[in-house]
């Protein structure tokens, strides 16, 4: 008996062949000359008249035949797809991570959904902001944020000073140069806060996502190993449509 994963593998090829056959049939029907035929015989007016051979063109394409061929082509696709979908209703598997069963009897359709969502989630987590590794951070319960230790820095102010380059004389005034000196006037105490995450936390969550991704893939493979019961719906459908 065939397995679900074998039917899934076959389905793509059946779809491609069906599309090609339908396209070929449509092209044949699009040429009126292939559906037309004629038969002509000639009889002269009298016995002495010119004798001409009969002319005939056979019908090369019959629309009814094309309908039968189309039904046969689509019946295979309908049956393969029905076999897959009927089995998908029953194909289930447990999701197990590190010996722990997270979910039981998960259907294939939901396993496929989970795979897509976990791929997107992994991308999201990789882009999470992380704390600056150059700082030392601690969780502050009062703000529910991460914060650094307080750092004290000096605040300075530039104060002008005079530098006498030459003393005054009876003939010349003193030569004075003005310069500025940084004088401490106070102190800043700085504490940085951040809502980002420690890199360790991001890596931990990402690791769990990747383990769950792997578990879902294993579960899908197990579910796709379910035995199938061939469905024959095409004959019923086209028996009604073209019968």
Strands 175-190 and 38-40: unpaired
Confidence of residue 131 (pLDDT cuts 50, 70, 90): very high
Residue 175 CB contacts under 8 Å (≥ 6 apart), including other chains: 164, 165, 166
SS3 content of the chain, % helix, strand, coil (to 5): 45, 25, 25
Mean pLDDT check: name the lowest of 27-36, 134-143, 149-158.
Answer: 27-36
More confident residue, 135 or 61: 135
- Can you give the pLDDT at residue 117? 96
Using CA atoms, how far apart are residues 105 and 99, in angstroms rounded to an integer? 16
Element (H, E) at 202: helix 199-223
16: alpha, beta or left, given left = phi > 0 and alpha = psi -120 to 50?
A: alpha
In sequence order, the β-bridge partners of residue 138 are 147
Confidence of residue 216 (pLDDT cuts 50, 70, 90): very high
More confident residue, 148 or 179: 148
The span from the first CA to the last CA of the chain, in angstroms, equals 31
| Average pLDDT, integer, range 163-187 | 83
Is the model's pLDDT at 50 over the cut of 70? Answer: yes
Confidence of residue 1 (pLDDT cuts 50, 70, 90): low
In sequence order, the β-bridge partners of residue 151 are 190
Question: In this structure, are residues 90 and 106 in contact, taking their beta carbons and an 8 Å threshold?
Answer: no
| Average pLDDT, integer, range 50-75 | 89
With tokens 């579960």, the residue in question is 219
Using CA atoms, how far apart are residues 200 and 99, in angstroms rounded to an integer? 24
Confidence of residue 229 (pLDDT cuts 50, 70, 90): confident
For residue range 95-112, list pLDDT tens digits in order: 999 999 999 999 998 999
Q: How many CA atoms lie within 13 A of 18 on its CB side?
A: 18
| Average pLDDT, integer, range 152-156 | 93
Confidence of residue 162 (pLDDT cuts 50, 70, 90): confident
| Average pLDDT, integer, range 199-224 | 95
What is the average pLDDT value for the chain, to the nearest integer?
91
Confidence of residue 166 (pLDDT cuts 50, 70, 90): confident
């Amino acid at each position: 008996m065939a397995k679900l994963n074998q039917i899934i593998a076959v389905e793509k090829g059946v779809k491609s062949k069906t599309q090609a056959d339908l396209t070929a049939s449509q092209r044949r029907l699009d040429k009126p000359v292939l559906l037309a035929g004629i038969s002509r015989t000639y009889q002269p007016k009298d016995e002495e008249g010119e004798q001409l051979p009969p002319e005939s063109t056979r019908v090369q394409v019959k629309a009814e035949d094309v309908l039968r061929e189309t039904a046969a082509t689509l019946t295979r696709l309908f049956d393969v797809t029905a076999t897959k979908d009927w089995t998908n209703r029953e194909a289930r598997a447990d999701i197990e991570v590190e010996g722990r069963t997270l979910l039981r009897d998960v259907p294939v359709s939901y396993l496929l959904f989970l795979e897509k969502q976990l791929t997107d989630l992994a991308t999201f987590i990789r882009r999470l902001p992380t704390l600056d590794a150059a700082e030392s951070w601690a969780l502050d319960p009062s703000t529910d944020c991460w914060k650094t230790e307080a750092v004290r820095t000096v605040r300075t102010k530039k104060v002008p000073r005079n530098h006498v380059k030459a003393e005054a004389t009876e003939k010349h005034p003193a030569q004075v140069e003005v310069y500025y000196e940084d004088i401490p006037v106070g102190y800043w105490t700085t504490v940085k806060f951040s809502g980002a995450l420690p890199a360790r936390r991001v890596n931990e969550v990402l690791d769990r996502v990747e383990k769950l991704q792997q578990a879902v893939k294993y579960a899908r493979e197990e579910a796709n190993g379910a035995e199938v019961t061939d469905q024959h719906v095409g004959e019923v459908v086209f028996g009604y449509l073209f019968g």
